[in-house]
């Protein structure tokens, strides 16, 4: 029996458009009513000039006014419903995608490096929602009705139709010109904006260094250059669209006058009535108004389209939420099987052929020169960077078999660059657990030796620490981050240079924390910056040149004088690890 070919998987864009098909169909139906009712003004003027004025009939005029007022009311209601529905579609897109967008913001760096500030997807979603809620989107639904109005112009008279058709061709040409000329400047402006905002965020994060070392002025000059570049591209895109908008407006006004002139000629030749002059002028204006509006809103349309393209591409490659079978909590060992590691999206291997096994109840110290791959090893062990080759297992189960949030419950991680979030100390220690209980938070603080420091603060565990923990010292931030790593008694605790900002009291607390992990049957891996961090270590690994040089009990590795250990010994003595 021949195999049935599988259908290609649907992309994000096709799935979203398919789910919104009914809503767009409803908008199209509303647009039918709106554009049919838009004929009200033209036919009212036609009846007034051709029937009311010649007959001097006030009752006829009164009846027409009542009918027209009713039709205009219905048109207004339909336009309101259409705009509300478009706004609701924008909100619905935001509701459906904001979770995925934020998830990609967090998880995409595990797959590839980004050149912007990482927030482009958030801005893209906002741009799409704003465009759908604005007037520009309604023009796209009215544009297909231009042929209908042009046909009516031909029904009035062939020369009126020809005049309107020439004007329509001119405006459509201006629209295509706006698309062609604004595409590149809009892309350049988007790239410049991302670089500019990324630089501003970096400057804000490093304001202390910039001011204390006197290069704030140079950063300001660099910002001015980047901002000028952004404004140049923005002005180029704006000038093109602005010039073409004015051109479209002038063309429409001239066309309206041309229709009046043609109508006047036809009346003089007795080929049309006076009502046709006014009605056709209004009809042509209505036919070309969506084109003029579309050109005026073209920059927003281009930005929304580019944002949709980037968002669709991003969410097609972003890691999907996993719903793996929940595995038993790890309790026996960590095994690293011949792994090689590269940075996400990179080809050059940072670590090569690393293998070791650590049983429960062990503290492993990792030492070696700078740029030897120690932090990359930490990221791989915690699942942040997938191994290019090899496998990392917890109790025989590969990390890839775990759902990320579930795996995170069993891992405590303290990165080199400590990052806390705006909120209370309790929020940060509990990893923003909405079902947070006081006991685990207090237990983690005590295990990290930071309980006394916290309770001495005015608001204790409820102290709000500000963005990035700005209201705390570097040492306090690091110790609270250590408590966060220990929250919930995770089986595997990975600490990357955990004592870089600690005083003697903090280092004592760190040693006690590592001892506590060992005593409760967990595994702690500490990347050492100073020898004091190795006080609680049972085993030591030496990493240099992207490879594991030695691994074994601490006394054997650091106590023996083999040549491969000399580099690490010098690194520890000099504090360069």
Q: What DSSP line would sit under 338-361, residue for residue?
A: EEEEE-TT--SEEEEEEEEEEESS
Residue with tokens 């990165």: 415
Indicate whether 289 belongs to any domain: yes
At 306-320, the pLDDT tens digits run: 778 777 777 766 655
CA dist., res. 574 & res. 397, Å (int): 39
Q: Which of 101-110, 172-181, 462-471, 558-567 has the highest mean pLDDT?
A: 462-471
Band (pLDDT 50/70/90 cuts) for residue 145 is confident
* Residues with Cβ within 8 Å of residue 444, at least 6 apart in sequence: 429, 483, 484, 486, 487, 488
At 4-29, the pLDDT tens digits run: 444 444 555 566 666 677 788 888 88
At 252-265, the pLDDT tens digits run: 778 878 888 888 88
Out of 65-79, 294-308, 533-547, least confident range: 294-308
**pLDDT for the residue 73:** 92
Indicate whether 244 belongs to any domain: yes
**pLDDT for the residue 291:** 74
**pLDDT for the residue 207:** 67
At 359-382, the pLDDT tens digits run: 999 999 998 888 888 889 999 998
pLDDT at residue 190 is higher than 60: yes
* Residues with Cβ within 8 Å of residue 193, at least 6 apart in sequence: 230, 234
Residue 368's nearest CA partner among 355, 351, 381, 382 is 351
Out of 194-198, 362-366, 535-539, 554-558, least confident range: 194-198
**pLDDT for the residue 522:** 93
pLDDT at residue 324 is higher than 50: yes
Asked whether residue 201 falls in the same domain as residue 291, the answer is yes
**pLDDT for the residue 343:** 84
Asked whether residue 287 falls in the same domain as residue 343, the answer is no
Q: What is the mean pLDDT of the chain?
A: 80
In the DSSP assignment, the letter for residue 560 is S
pLDDT at residue 146 is higher than 50: yes
Give the bridge partners for 551, in sequence order: 541
pLDDT at residue 250 is higher than 90: no
Asked whether residue 260 falls in the same domain as residue 233, the answer is yes
Cβ contacts of 323-331, under 8 Å, gap ≥ 24: 323/403, 324/401, 324/402, 324/403, 324/406, 326/403, 326/406, 327/397, 327/401, 327/402, 327/406, 328/395, 329/410, 329/491, 330/394, 330/395, 330/397, 330/410, 330/491, 330/492, 331/360, 331/395, 331/491, 331/521
In the DSSP assignment, the letter for residue 522 is -
The full 3-state SS of 160-228, as one line of letters, equals HHHHHHHHHHHHHHHHHHHHHHHHHHHHHHHHHHHHHHHHHHHHHHCHHHHHHCCCHHHHHHHHHHHHH
pLDDT at residue 194 is higher than 90: no
As for how many domains the chain has, the answer is 2
CA dist., res. 362 & res. 523, Å (int): 5
Q: Average pLDDT for residues 186-192, to the nearest whole number? A: 78
Indicate whether 266 belongs to any domain: yes
Indicate whether 85 belongs to any domain: yes
Q: Average pLDDT for residues 399-403, to the nearest whole number? A: 85
Asked whether residue 304 falls in the same domain as residue 357, the answer is no
At 411-445, the pLDDT tens digits run: 999 888 887 888 899 998 998 888 888 899 999 99
Both tokens of residue 164? 């309107």
Give the bridge partners for 547, in sequence order: 544
Is residue 349 within 8 A of residue 341, CB to CB? The reply is yes
Q: What is the CATH number of the domain that holds 363?
A: 3.40.50.300
- Residue 94's alpha-carbon distances to 12, 90, 161, 451, 522, in angstroms, are 14, 6, 43, 41, 42
Kind plus residue range of the DSSP H or E element containing 541: strand 539-544
Asked whether residue 235 falls in the same domain as residue 307, the answer is yes
At 489-516, the pLDDT tens digits run: 999 999 988 877 777 777 888 888 899 9
Asked whether residue 120 falls in the same domain as residue 266, the answer is yes
Asked whether residue 259 falls in the same domain as residue 389, the answer is no
Q: What is the pTM of this model?
A: 0.66
CA dist., res. 519 & res. 205, Å (int): 38
Where among 293, 317, 341 does a domain terminate? 317
In the DSSP assignment, the letter for residue 272 is S
Number of helices and strands in the chain (H, E): 22, 10
Backbone phi, then psi, for 113, in 5-degree steps?
-85, 145
Give SS3 for 462: helix
- Residue 5's alpha-carbon distances to 2, 9, 29, 65, 538, in angstroms, are 9, 12, 37, 64, 56
Asked whether residue 177 falls in the same domain as residue 68, the answer is yes
Residue 576's nearest CA partner among 530, 543, 525 is 530
Q: What is the CATH number of the domain that holds 77?
A: 1.20.1560.10
**pLDDT for the residue 56:** 81
**pLDDT for the residue 318:** 60
pLDDT at residue 284 is higher than 60: yes
Q: Average pLDDT for residues 181-207, to the nearest whole number? A: 76
pLDDT greater at residue 163 or residue 532? 163
pLDDT at residue 1 is higher than 50: no
Indicate whether 577 belongs to any domain: no
**pLDDT for the residue 521:** 92
Indicate whether 154 belongs to any domain: yes
Asked whether residue 478 falls in the same domain as residue 368, the answer is yes
Q: What is the residue range of 69's domain?
A: 10-317
Indicate whether 563 belongs to any domain: no
Asked whether residue 343 falls in the same domain as residue 298, the answer is no
Q: Average pLDDT for residues 519-529, to the nearest whole number? A: 88
Both tokens of residue 275? 């009502």
At 460-478, the pLDDT tens digits run: 999 988 877 778 888 888 8
Asked whether residue 310 falls in the same domain as residue 382, the answer is no
Radius of gyration of the chain (CA): 34
Both tokens of residue 568? 């690490």
Asked whether residue 174 falls in the same domain as residue 305, the answer is yes
Indicate whether 575 belongs to any domain: no
Is residue 420 within 8 A of residue 480, CB to CB? The reply is yes
């Amino acid at each position: 029996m021949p195999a049935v070919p599988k259908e290609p998987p649907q992309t994000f864009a096709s799935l979203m458009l398919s789910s919104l098909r009914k809503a767009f169909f409803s908008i199209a139906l509303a647009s039918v009513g709106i554009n049919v009712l838009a004929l009200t003004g033209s036919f009212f003027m036609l009846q007034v000039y051709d029937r009311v004025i010649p007959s001097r009939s006030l009752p006829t005029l009164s009846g027409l006014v009542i009918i027209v007022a009713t039709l205009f009311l219905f048109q207004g209601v339909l336009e309101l419903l259409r705009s509300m529905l478009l706004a609701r579609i924008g909100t619905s897109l935001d509701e459906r995608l904001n979770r995925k967008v934020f998830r990609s913001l967090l998880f995409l760096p595990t797959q590839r490096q980004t050149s912007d500030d990482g927030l482009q997807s958030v801005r893209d979603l906002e741009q799409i929602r704003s465009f759908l809620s604005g007037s520009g989107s309604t023009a796209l639904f009215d544009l297909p009705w231009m042929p209908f109005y042009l046909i009516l112009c031909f029904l009035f008279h062939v020369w009126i139709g020809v005049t309107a058709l020439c004007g329509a061709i001119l405006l459509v040409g201006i629209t295509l010109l706006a698309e062609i000329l604004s595409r590149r400047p809009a892309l350049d402006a988007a790239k410049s904006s991302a670089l500019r905002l990324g630089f501003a965020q970096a400057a804000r994060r490093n304001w202390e260094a910039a001011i204390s070392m006197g290069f704030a002025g140079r950063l300001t000059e660099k910002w001015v250059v980047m901002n000028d570049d952004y404004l140049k591209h923005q002005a180029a895109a704006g000038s093109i669209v602005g010039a073409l908008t004015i051109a479209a407006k002038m063309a429409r006004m001239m066309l309206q006058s041309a229709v009046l002139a043609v109508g006047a000629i036809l009346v003089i030749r007795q080929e049309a009535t006076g009502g046709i002059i006014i009605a056709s002028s209004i009809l042509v204006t209505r036919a070309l108004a969506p084109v003029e509006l579309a050109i005026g809103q073209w920059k927003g349309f281009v930005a929304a389209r580019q944002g949709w393209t980037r968002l669709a591409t991003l969410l097609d490659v972003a890691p999907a939420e996993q719903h793996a079978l929940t595995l038993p909590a790890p309790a026996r060992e960590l095994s690293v099987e011949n792994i090689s590691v590269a940075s996400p999206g990179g080809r050059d291997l940072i670590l090569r052929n690393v293998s070791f096994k650590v049983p429960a109840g062990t503290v492993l110290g990792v030492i070696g020169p700078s740029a030897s791959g120690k932090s990359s090893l930490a990221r791989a062990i915690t699942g942040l960077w997938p191994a290019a080759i090899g496998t990392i297992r917890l109790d025989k189960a590969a990390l890839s078999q775990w759902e990320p949030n579930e795996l995170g419950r069993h891992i405590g991680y303290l990165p080199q660059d400590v990052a806390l979030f705006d909120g209370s100390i309790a929020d940060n220690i509990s990893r923003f657990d909405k079902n947070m209980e006081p006991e685990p938070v207090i237990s983690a603080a005590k295990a990290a030796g930071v309980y006394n420091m916290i309770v001495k603060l005015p608001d204790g565990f409820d102290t709000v620490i500000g963005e990035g923990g700005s209201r705390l010292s570097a040492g306090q931030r690091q110790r609270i981050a250590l408590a966060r790593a220990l929250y919930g008694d995770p089986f595997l605790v990975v600490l990357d240079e955990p004592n870089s900002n600690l005083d003697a009291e903090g280092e004592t607390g760190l040693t006690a924390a590592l001892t506590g992990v060992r005593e409760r049957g967990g595994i702690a891996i500490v990347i050492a910056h100073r020898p004091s961090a190795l006080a609680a270590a049972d085993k030591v690994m030496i990493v240099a040149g992207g490879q594991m040089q030695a691994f074994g009990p601490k006394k054997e590795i650091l106590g023996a004088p083999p040549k491969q250990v000399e580099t690490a010994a010098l690194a520890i003595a000099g504090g360069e690890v």
